[in-house]
Structure 1
């Protein structure tokens, strides 16, 4: 495959107005179509739709990875290395509370990557990452 095809993901939120503000103003995603029950966003070139769903009492589940508790499920995007650095600094200045602070995995090894995790206002876990060499995205 030589072209990148945008993906579509729909996530549940129990607080549509608060999440609308978060994705638009904190993550800087431009808003598309909407109704009183959902909002489309340009999520780094992909379509993200937040859909209203009553709040769940389900607790956040995690799995251990590199000695850290990675939230499951989670979603996000792979950014270019320099954009990741700028984006993570912007999130810090906006007071984002990280589940896993931005850090480098596999430093100096195959698959060297930067990663970070945080929650949206509805408790959905997001991961953003970047590879030092994007050609190693699927390297073993």
Structure 2
């Protein structure tokens, strides 16, 4: 199965590749791996994110049913991301907030919106065994 050298592949539409680079590289700190006329590939927290140039982007940002992001095992990594979002004034759809207070599934979450209305959720569970 997957080992530490494998990467999950995520592909999303992008209306403008320059905006995608600005958000993912200069906003979130992802590394740009490759860029072509029709797509750009990023190292997105150790996984592969590809933004494909497309006219078929969402008119508005909606969390469900489709979003992607990172479930941080360590609280300090989530805290660092929230500080980055605040410092760089990235567009927030929801949060930071606590979900499922009083249950084993309690976690902190923040949802962001990229320039093409793709929704990204970042979270951290109190019990890291529940991140899957």
Q: Normalised by the shorter chain, which TM-score bucket?
A: 0.7 to 0.9
Aligned residue in 1 for 2:40: 39
- Per the alignment, in what secondary structure is the counterpart of residue 121 of structure 1? coil
**What number of residue pairs does the alignment pair up?**
130
CA contact (8 A) 2:61 2:119 kept: no
Aligned residue in 2 for 1:75: 68
Separation in structure 2 between the aligned mates of residue 71 and residue 2 of structure 1, nearest angstrom: 27
CA contact (8 A) 1:60 1:72 kept: no
- Per the alignment, in what secondary structure is the counterpart of residue 107 of structure 1? coil
Give the superposition deviation at 1:108: 4.4
Deviations 1:75-119 (A, max 9, x none): 111112210011111101111231111111233430221111121
Q: TM-score, normalised by structure 2?
A: 0.86
Question: What runs of 5+ residues in structure 1 fail to find an aligned partner?
Answer: 63-69
Question: What runs of 5+ residues in structure 2 fail to find an aligned partner?
Answer: none
CA contact (8 A) 1:29 1:42 kept: yes
Q: TM-score, normalised by structure 1?
A: 0.82
Separation in structure 1 between the aligned mates of residue 64 and residue 76 of structure 2, nearest angstrom: 25
- Per the alignment, in what secondary structure is the counterpart of residue 96 of structure 1? coil
Separation in structure 2 between the aligned mates of residue 44 and residue 2 of structure 1, nearest angstrom: 16
Matching residue within 97, 105, 108 for 2:91: 97
Pair 1:16–1:89, CA change in 2 (3 A): same
Larger relative contact order (Cα-Cα within 8 Å, sequence gap ≥ 6): 2
RMSD between aligned residues: 2.0
CA contact (8 A) 2:61 2:113 kept: no
Indicate the structure with greater strand content.
Answer: 1
